[in-house]
Structure 1
Amino acid sequence: MPEDFYDVLGVSRDADEDEIKRAFRKKAAKHHPDVSDDPDAEETFKKIQKAKDVLTDDEKRQMYDQLGHERFVEADKQGATDRGGARGNPFGGSAGGGMGGFGDIFDQFFGGGGRGGSRPSKGQDLRTGLSIDLEEAYEGVTKQVTIRRPERCEDCDGSGHPPGAEPRTCPECNGRGQVRQVKQTPFGKMQQTGTCRRCGGEGELYEETCSTCRGQGTVRREATLSVDVPAGIRSGQTLRMEGEGAPGDPRAPNGDLLIEVEVDDHPDFERDGNDLRLDQPISFPQAVFGDTIQVPTLDGGAQFEVPEGTQSGETFRLRGKGMPRLRGHGYGDLYVDVQVVTPESLNEEQRAALEQFAEAGGESVEVEDGFFERIRNSL
């Protein structure tokens, strides 16, 4: 049995709006893709968001309670198909709320009226990319992004016609801005009211068109924006700049700009979530006798003790020296992988000392005949 929206949020069926919103905030804080390491976090968050959107809207919730989960979802899909699944909203409409395609079925189910099909639509979301280096991801940074996007035409204020142009009544809808048609739905044939495609719901047409935008209401321009990249961000995560997307219908908000961040590889550090790994070379004497060494970190460097008898390939953990966790929840760790380096050339004194070391251990070798290669292979 599919998990219904009340189960998703963990609330009772008689929960009020405040209780639902509190439950949503608690779930979102745990499952938001920006804070959760769960590979299914994005899908889980979408379910939580959808449940909250439905249960905090009186009309949607009434419909949901009357139809039940499965029939509601079926009607939702049907509405999205009728409207072409506009902008990815679970109800087939604009991404900022509203009922979209499902609203047509809703209106007819309850006799129409109220929130008809002529609501202005939010503008389309736009996407771009941004590359930063690991140090910038560690500190957080403000970057500039330049995009070419549609913007509302200033000469006609997005109307598509010159100011003062004389209108005429749209012959398609007779000035109503809406047209009615019969469609097949999961509940049988229903009469639906939709926005007139010819006049865009305005009820009027203009013979003259704006010479700047050629009647489109928008022109494409280059825009440079400042975006704040938070510390701890990872490759593939997306930042949202509200209202910086394409313009919507008159009296409707602009879409958003979605910026996908790519963190470049670092020459020294390898990133694993919030942790970092570092290959650190040490000398043979340091490995044998132990030493205090300095290792690089993204905040300036740190010391740690190499114990006596350290073997090549051993890993040491420096707590709190990794990447900051997104939204300020502490730091990951730095894992130092120690590599013992065998010298490529020795002076006579060093050579004699190592020969004595080998003989003291019961080995009879000539250093020239591969002693150091044997040392390397034994580590």
Structure 2
Amino acid sequence: MSEDFYEVLGVSRDADADEIKQSYRKKAAEYHPDVSDDPNAEEKFKQVKKAKEVLTDEDARAAYDRMGHEQFEQAEKRGFDASENGQDPFGGMGGMGGGQGSPFDDIFEQFFGGGRGRGQQGPRPGRDLQTGLTIDLEDAYFGTARQMTVTRPERCDDCGGHGHPEDAEARTCPGCEGRGQQVRVQQTPLGRVQQTTTCPQCEGEGELYSETCDSCDGEGVVMEESTLTVEVPEGIRDGQTLRMDGEGAPGEPGARDGDLLVEIAVEADERFERDGDDLHITHPISFPQAVFGDDLRVETLDGTVSLDLPRGTQSGETFRLRGKGMPRLQRRGQGDLFVRVQVVTPENVNEEQRDALEAFAEAGGEDIDVKEGFFEKIKRSL
């Protein structure tokens, strides 16, 4: 058999975990020493198990793809020295998304106990899933309830998530002798450590079954579309994540389901610029308003409010309206609204406005050379 793990299992390099597990079960049944007539069945069976173990572990698979088969095997023999070629063969020490964790998890388990990694006892909980939802600024201001459709794994109804019919014949797994776990000694950067891992042959159940469920192909889960209602609280910010308890991937029978993490994207608004809980807006004013002051009607996300514009306001000045910004998420009160006024110069003026402006300039001692268009000159000469 080829040594490349993908070729060992007969899957493509972009195969997902379900394809890998399905191929593994077929190969394991073909090369199991108890049933195979192949003289090299035991060695081939070990290769199939090793390939499945690596390719169904997100971190290990990432390291394998990055390093290649030969370097991966060499690094594993040396205990996965994380400093090798400046690469971390584990692909990091964790992260979101329901990964299986790094081999260091088992080291922590040996020294400190607890369920840190693959060696934990009991049924495995479901992993968290992630999705995204886009809303506008008004939705973020008032809060909203949005329905969204997600495609996610659901526990198979036909087998109750067990992966086999209730009347399937069970036998003790020869790979772990019914314990559901395998123990091996591994050389690590901390020395030789006894490592307990979930048995890859029975996937921790301790038993193998004569039949698999036709509906889920033995996986215990099926992919289905679900419509969920997402409650978005007022004041939420762009990039924040909502957690929907129990709406993630199903756990093994007897274990809790994972959560659904919904990342919120708040679209930019044409009128308001957001800065945390504060809002900024530019409000146009005329030259007379700037000179004499005025009672401005300023738009907010919750209607219009009054702003007392003082006399002699300069273009570009900013005024603060307290409590007219965004609601503070899970806190009392609101941010502020900052109103930047901008004097708008009219592009066209009538004759009366023109005379008034010229008189204003002359009264202030300004000598302005007023340029006129051809038709304006003719009109004023009549």
TM-score, structure 2 length as denominator?
A: 0.68
- Give, in whole Å, the separation in 2 of the partners of 1:112 and 1:144: 38
Which residue of structure 2 aligns with residue 221 of structure 1?
224
How is 1:34-73 mapped onto 2 (pairs within 5 angstroms)? none
Letter in 1 for 2:95: G
Letter in 1 for 2:335: G
Deviation at 1:369, TM superposition (A): 4.7
Aligned-residue RMSD, C-alpha: 2.9
Say whether the 8 Å CA contact 2:114–2:120 is kept in structure 1: no
How is 1:150-229 mapped onto 2 (pairs within 5 angstroms)? 150-185=153-188, 188-229=191-232
Q: Does 1:88 align with 2:88?
A: no
Q: Does 1:298 align with 2:305?
A: no
Q: Does 1:287 align with 2:290?
A: yes
Deviation at 1:318, TM superposition (A): 0.8
- Give, in whole Å, the separation in 1 of the partners of 2:94 and 2:142: 34
Which residue of structure 2 aligns with residue 333 of structure 1?
336
- Give, in whole Å, the separation in 2 of the partners of 1:184 and 1:216: 33
Say whether the 8 Å CA contact 1:129–1:261 is kept in structure 2: yes
- Give, in whole Å, the separation in 1 of the partners of 2:352 and 2:104: 86
Which residue of structure 1 aligns with residue 148 of structure 2?
145
Which residue of structure 2 aligns with residue 358 of structure 1?
361
How is 1:338-349 mapped onto 2 (pairs within 5 angstroms)? 338-349=341-352
Letter in 1 for 2:133: L
Letter in 2 for 1:88: G
Which residue of structure 2 aligns with residue 42 of structure 1?
none
Secondary structure of the residue aligned to 2:300 is coil
- Give, in whole Å, the separation in 1 of the partners of 2:159 and 2:132: 32
- In structure 2, the gaps of 5 or more residues are 1-81, 83-87, 374-382
- Give, in whole Å, the separation in 2 of the partners of 1:271 and 1:221: 38
Q: Does 1:319 align with 2:326?
A: no
Q: Deviations over 1:281-320 (max 9, x none)?
A: 0111101111111000011111111111111111111111
| Count of aligned positions | 284
Secondary structure of the residue aligned to 1:88 is coil
Deviation at 1:84, TM superposition (A): 7.8
Say whether the 8 Å CA contact 2:249–2:257 is kept in structure 1: yes
- Which moves more between the two structures, 335-344 or 188-197? 188-197
Q: Deviations over 1:123-149 (max 9, x none)?
A: 121111111111110111111121100
Letter in 2 for 1:154: D
Say whether the 8 Å CA contact 2:247–2:258 is kept in structure 1: yes
Letter in 2 for 1:316: F
Q: Which has the larger radius of gyration?
A: 2
Deviation at 1:329, TM superposition (A): 3.1
Say whether the 8 Å CA contact 1:123–1:247 is kept in structure 2: yes
TM-score, structure 1 length as denominator?
A: 0.68
- Give, in whole Å, the separation in 1 of the partners of 2:127 and 2:367: 78
- Give, in whole Å, the separation in 2 of the partners of 1:183 and 1:118: 20
How is 1:120-135 mapped onto 2 (pairs within 5 angstroms)? 120-135=123-138
- Give, in whole Å, the separation in 1 of the partners of 2:206 and 2:192: 27
- In structure 1, the gaps of 5 or more residues are 1-76, 95-99, 371-379
- Give, in whole Å, the separation in 1 of the partners of 2:207 and 2:196: 18
Secondary structure of the residue aligned to 2:297 is strand
Match of 2:277 among 270, 274, 277: 274
- Give, in whole Å, the separation in 1 of the partners of 2:269 and 2:371: 38
Letter in 1 for 2:158: D
Q: Deviations over 1:81-110 (max 9, x none)?
A: 999878638xx968xxxxx96674456448
Deviation at 1:340, TM superposition (A): 0.7
Deviation at 1:178, TM superposition (A): 2.0
C-alpha change, 1:111 and 1:134, in structure 2 (3 Å) is closer
Q: Deviations over 1:111-134 (max 9, x none)?
A: 999x96433222121111111111
Letter in 2 for 1:236: G
Letter in 1 for 2:179: R
Q: Does 1:263 align with 2:250?
A: no
Letter in 1 for 2:156: C
- Give, in whole Å, the separation in 2 of the partners of 1:197 and 1:276: 55
Letter in 2 for 1:263: V
C-alpha change, 1:287 and 1:119, in structure 2 (3 Å) is same
Deviation at 1:343, TM superposition (A): 1.7
Secondary structure of the residue aligned to 1:350 is helix
Q: Give % identity.
A: 63
Q: Does 1:235 align with 2:235?
A: no
Say whether the 8 Å CA contact 1:118–1:195 is kept in structure 2: no
Which residue of structure 2 aligns with residue 16 of structure 1?
none
C-alpha change, 1:246 and 1:270, in structure 2 (3 Å) is same
- Give, in whole Å, the separation in 1 of the partners of 2:273 and 2:110: 58
Q: Deviations over 1:256-301 (max 9, x none)?
A: 1111101111111111111111110011110111111100001111
Say whether the 8 Å CA contact 1:103–1:117 is kept in structure 2: no
- Give, in whole Å, the separation in 1 of the partners of 2:109 and 2:363: 93
Q: Does 1:246 align with 2:253?
A: no
Say whether the 8 Å CA contact 1:118–1:201 is kept in structure 2: no
Say whether the 8 Å CA contact 1:209–1:215 is kept in structure 2: yes
- Give, in whole Å, the separation in 2 of the partners of 1:354 and 1:290: 18
